[in-house]
């Protein structure tokens, strides 16, 4: 560490002046970023939690409410509906996306003719905004769209976005489409670190492709999987854009998510305190996932 | 988040890692790991099917945007003939698409320049300087990465409303410049630069800010490119914040504008034409600088 070496240097009078000047300059360098950070991250984070205990009006009127908002939250069927949607979406979208990422990464991890082309195609949805691509998915999942045509042999034709049962699966499909390329790229990078000799040795010993994956590649990927699982879970908890453009939470609130509830309460009904309480609930869920991840990783070490 | 950082920075500081496995020096046994004959064909087939499925939405978007006013029927509507650019004329003429494009460019470009400059400045100080409160400041930065953006959404909006920032450019841009992740990445990168470079310049009597501009920034080019692409993409695709802060059509970004079309009952082809125009700049950039875009997204974290 560079700070350690400079720290042990005995300072003369000149050195002290210089050090003080250096500290002043450094503070000046950090200050703009830090002030922005205080004003728009740190402050609002604290305020967001505090706000959930108040009623606030944009005119400036403020009233202490204690835990009223949370009591209301627990009794609000829409909150539980939104929680259910968010959890179901997360529980399905994240693992499906991870499995797909892994399969695709295995397919294109080594350079061969066309590997770069395939990687690029699979990565394209990652940089695509689902708000901008939303309208094509509305058509794809409509009653006379291609998805219905594809699914009608299974007896699942018709408009998926119009069905209270199938709307979540439809949103999961879109969510997975937009995310799997990200995990794929991360996993390709992680797979490069698997010692080739190990795989070769396993091959000589007659291990088949599945056995080689199971006992050589997979153990190497474990930390990457945890990283991806946390990133993807956090993102999935915040699902909003797709729903806003594809279903507006419908039909009959069947695709209403937590962030949608926060948005509606805050910016449609201007019930800021209640919306902040939803934000706190979301934060708590994220923290629980992070803690579980810490525990699981901690156990492995 | 911290669990991710070792791999992240490693990937960023050794950008050529992905190339290592290719090219010369393949041993014969390595070849044996690769599919041969039928295996190659099979791999091509399943990857092609996946690619077609994955690319289909883009294809449909473009083709249907070129078929204005017609009833969409399968599979005829998906065939690439009888095309017309009427929908493009409609969305460019009848909607404020160019205005939204301009807003999005302002939002993205100003944010990229500001975030890169401020985070490099702060990252340099955190990496190479000693000052009181450094550790506290840095760790408070890091802790905030954990707090979801949505917790801060309402208070940030109230703050901006009280400051008169609603429906203005500065109100749109300013809160998004607080980017803890960018500061963290810059610090990680600059920490790896050798001290001698700065020391030599300091002995030559260069001022601190001059050292930053002339020595630190040029050395940071690779990380600045990566981070810049990430910040740009994130702002280009950002939706919730512009939706909340932009009240009038003239202040909409592309995502907000395009989503507002849906509420107006605009024909599908016109909507899609708007989407294609909005996606085009990103795709062109991707075509030109693929590797940097991939690195920018995977190396820095979450999609915007």
Residues of chain A contacting B47 with CB distance shorter than 8 Å: 107-108, 114, 118
Confidence of residue A11 (pLDDT cuts 50, 70, 90): low
Provide the 10 A C-beta neighbour count for residue B24.
Answer: 4
Q: What percent of chain A has pLDDT over 70?
A: 95
What are the tokens at A168? 């979540």
Mean pLDDT, rounded, of chain B:
83
Average pLDDT (A137-152) is 92
The residues pairing with A64 across neighbouring beta strands, listed in sequence order, are: A54
Of A182, A193, A294, nearest to A235 by C-alpha is: A182
* Global confidence as pTM: 0.88
Q: Say how far apart CA A38 and CA A36 lie, in whole Å.
A: 5
Interchain contact B76–A (C-beta under 8 A): no
Q: What is the pLDDT of residues A180-195, one digit of tens each?
A: 999 999 999 899 888 8
Q: State which residue of chain A sits closest to B23, comparing Cα positions.
A: A111
Averaged pLDDT for residues B140-164: 87
Q: What is the pLDDT of residue B32?
A: 65
Closest-CA distance, A37 to chain B, in angstroms, reads: 5
**pLDDT averaged over chain A?**
89
Contacts 24+ apart (CB under 8 A), B287-291: B289/B229, B290/A120
B148–A283 C-beta distance less than 8 A: yes
CB < 8 Å to B177, chain A: 36, 40
Nearest residue to B233 (alpha-carbon basis) of B300, B158, B169, B187: B300
Nearest Cα residue in chain B from A275: B154
Distance from C-alpha of B23 to C-alpha of B21, rounded to nearest angstrom: 7
Query: Residue A274's closest chain B neighbor by CA?
Result: B154
Q: Please tell me the predicted confidence (pLDDT) of residue B40.
A: 85
The answer to whether B74 faces chain A, any CB pair under 8 Å, is yes
State the pLDDT at residue A250.
82
Q: Tell me the pLDDT tens digit for each residue of B23-77.
A: 444 444 455 677 778 888 999 999 999 999 999 999 999 999 998 876 677 777 7
Residue A300: the pLDDT is 61
Percent of chain A's residues with pLDDT above 90: 60
Using 50, 70 and 90 to split pLDDT, how confident is the model at A281?
A: very high
Residues B267-304: pLDDT tens digits?
889 999 999 999 999 999 898 888 888 887 777 654 33
Give residue for tokens 């934000």: A279
Q: What Å distances lie between residue A61 and A57, A64, A273, A279, B182, CA to CA?
A: 5, 11, 12, 21, 37
Rounded-to-integer distance, Cα B83 and Cα B79, Å: 10
Residue pLDDT, tens place only, A196-233: 888 888 888 888 888 889 888 999 898 899 889 888 99
Burial per residue of A93-118, b for 16 or more beta-carbon CB atoms within 10 angstroms, e otherwise: bbebbbebbbebbbbbbbebeebeeb
Mutate which of A9, A21, A26 to test chain B, going by most B C-beta atoms within 10 A? A26
Q: Which residues pair with A63 in a beta bridge?
A: A55
Report B:101-140 residues touching A (Cβ under 8 A). Answer: 118-119, 121-122, 124-132, 134, 137, 140
Q: What mean pLDDT comes out for the span A40-49? A: 91
In eight-state DSSP terms, residue B71 is: P
CA B27 from centroid of its chain's CA atoms: 39
| A145-191 pLDDT per residue, tens | 899 999 999 989 889 999 999 999 999 999 999 999 999 999 998 99
Of residues B3, B129, B154, nearest to A26 (C-beta): B129
CB contact at 8 A, B301 and A231: yes
Higher per-residue pLDDT: B77 or B259:
B259
Q: Does B122 contact A29 at a Cβ distance shorter than 8 Å?
A: yes
Q: B-chain residues within 8 Å CB-CB of A122? A: 50-51, 54
Site from B42, B78, B150 to mutate, A interface, most A CB atoms within 10 angstroms: B150
- List domains and CATH numbers for chain A: 2-51 (no CATH), 72-300 (1.10.3720.10)
- Closest residue to B11, CB basis, from A37, A189, A200: A189
Q: What confidence score (pLDDT) does residue B218 get?
A: 92
Domains of chain B: 35-84 (no CATH), 93-300 (1.10.3720.10)
């Amino acid at each position: 560490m560079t700070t350690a070496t400079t720290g042990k240097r005995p300072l003369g009078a000149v050195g002290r002046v210089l050090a003080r000047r250096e500290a002043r300059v450094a503070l000046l360098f950090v200050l703009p970023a830090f002030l922005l950070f205080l004003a728009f991250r740190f402050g609002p984070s604290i305020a967001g939690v505090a706000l959930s205990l108040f009623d606030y009006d944009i005119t400036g009127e403020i009233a202490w409410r204690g835990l009223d908002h949370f009591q209301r939250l627990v009794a609000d069927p829409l909150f539980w509906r939104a929680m259910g949607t968010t959890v179901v979406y997360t529980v399905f979208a994240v693992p499906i996306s991870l499995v797909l990422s892994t399969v695709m990464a295995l397919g294109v991890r080594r350079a061969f003719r066309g590997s770069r082309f395939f990687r690029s195609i699979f990565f394209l949805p990652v940089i695509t905004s689902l708000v901008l691509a939303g309208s094509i998915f509305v058509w794809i999942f409509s009653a006379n769209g291609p998805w219905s045509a594809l699914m009608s042999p299974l007896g699942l034709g018709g408009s998926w976005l119009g069905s209270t049962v199938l709307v979540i699966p439809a949103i999961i499909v879109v969510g997975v489409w937009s995310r799997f390329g990200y995990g794929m790229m991360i996993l390709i990078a992680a797979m490069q670190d698997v010692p080739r000799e190990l795989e070769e040795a396993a091959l000589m010993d007659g291990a088949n492709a599945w056995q080689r994956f199971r006992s050589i590649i997979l153990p190497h990927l474990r930390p990457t999987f945890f990283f991806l699982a946390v990133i993807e879970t956090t993102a999935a908890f915040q699902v909003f854009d797709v729903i806003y453009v594809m279903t507006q939470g419908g039909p009959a609130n069947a695709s209403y998510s937590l962030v949608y509830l926060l948005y509606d309460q805050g910016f449609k009904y201007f019930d800021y305190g209640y919306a902040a309480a939803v934000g706190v609930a979301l934060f708590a869920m994220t923290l629980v996932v992070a803690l579980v991840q810490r525990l699981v990783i901690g156990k492995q070490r | 988040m911290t669990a991710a950082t070792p791999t992240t920075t490693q990937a960023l500081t050794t950008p050529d890692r992905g190339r290592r496995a290719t090219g010369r020096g393949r041993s014969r046994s390595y070849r044996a790991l690769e599919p041969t004959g039928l295996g190659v064909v099979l791999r091509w087939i399943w990857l092609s099917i996946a690619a077609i499925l994955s690319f289909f939405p883009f294809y449909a978007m473009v083709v249907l945007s070129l078929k204005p006013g017609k009833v969409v029927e399968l599979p005829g509507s998906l065939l690439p003939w009888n095309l017309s650019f009427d929908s493009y004329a409609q969305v460019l003429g009848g909607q404020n698409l160019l205005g939204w494009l301009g807003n999005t460019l302002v939002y993205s470009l100003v944010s990229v320049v500001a975030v890169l400059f401020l985070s490099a400045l702060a990252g340099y100080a955190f990496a190479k300087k000693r000052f009181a409160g450094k550790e506290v400041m840095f760790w408070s930065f890091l802790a905030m990465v954990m707090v979801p953006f949505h917790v801060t959404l309402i208070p940030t909006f109230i703050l901006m409303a009280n400051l008169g920032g609603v429906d203005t450019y500065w109100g749109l841009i300013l809160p998004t410049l607080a980017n803890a992740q960018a500061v963290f990445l810059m610090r990680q990168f600059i920490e790896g630069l050798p001290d001698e470079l700065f020391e030599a310049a300091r002995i030559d009597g260069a001022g601190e800010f001059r050292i930053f501009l002339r020595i630190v920034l040029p050395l940071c080019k690779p990380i600045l490119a990566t981070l810049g692409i990430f910040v740009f993409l994130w702002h280009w695709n950002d939706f919730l914040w512009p939706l909340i802060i932009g009240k009038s059509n003239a202040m909409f970004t592309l995502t907000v504008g395009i989503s507002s079309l849906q509420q107006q009952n605009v024909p599908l082809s016109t909507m899609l034409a708007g989407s294609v125009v909005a996606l085009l700049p990103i795709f062109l950039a991707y075509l030109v600088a693929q590797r940097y875009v991939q690195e920018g997204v995977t190396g820095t974290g979450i999609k915007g």
